[in-house]
Amino acid sequence: MPTNEALRKAQERDLDLVEVAPEAKPPVTRILDYSKYKYELAQKQKQARKHQQQIVVREIKFRPKIAEQDYETKKRHVERFLLHKDKVKVTIMFRGREVTHPERGEIILNRLAEELAELAIVETRPQQDGRNMTMMLGPSKGVLAGEFEVPEDDGTADADEKRGPQVHHTDKSAQPLGSPEQLAD
């Protein structure tokens, strides 16, 4: 249909002639209320954004000579990140001559990936990048499907119990310097 005729029909109905597919041969147009069309498009885009999932990348840093307790603590952090469906970038930082032994860093990264095999998939294998070696872990299909539940407390309650009761002091500036109470602290 010629453009002039389509435009005349649209004006008779008090509507707009809107080009919906300009790349098509011939271009596709519709007779409709343009403001209503724009509103519906905006609603569709809003719905699409609502169903998108934000990808969060967390980073945790290790050293090649990490102590066993520190390794376990950082491994628990990685587990927590993965259970929250975040990706984790694991970095081994080399200092000084440590960079001459990249195999130590690779051993740590491979051990971590092996121990977290049911929670994580390795997205990028360990790669040396200057003085750092990095590996990217993503949540496994089981985590994304919700097979694993996120623990409510992240282990901080156990640490608080081991430390004993916490003592909170009042404003020390109210006490004179050198008082027996301050010396007892």
In a domain, 181, yes or no: no
Q: Which residues contact 27 (CB under 8 A, 6 or more apart)?
A: 19, 21
Q: Per-residue pLDDT tens for 140-184?
A: 887 777 777 777 655 555 544 454 444 444 444 444 555 555 555
In a domain, 183, yes or no: no
Count of structural domains within the chain: 2
Is the preceding omega at residue 26 within 30 degrees of 0, hence cis? Answer: yes
In a domain, 156, yes or no: no
Please tell me the distance from the alpha carbon of residue 181 to that of residue 24, in angstroms, as a whole number.
85
Q: Which of 10, 11, 5 is nearest to 30 (CA)?
A: 10
Residue 44 pLDDT > 60: yes
Residue 101 pLDDT > 80: yes
Statement to judge: residues 61 and 130 lie in one domain? yes
pLDDT at 175: 47
pLDDT band for position 6 (50/70/90)? confident
pLDDT at 17: 82
CATH code at position 19: 3.10.20.80
Q: What is the pTM of this model?
A: 0.55
In a domain, 168, yes or no: no
| Residue where the block lists tokens 């010629």 | 2
Domain that holds residue 21: 3-50
Please tell me the distance from the alpha carbon of residue 157 to that of residue 6, in angstroms, as a whole number.
72
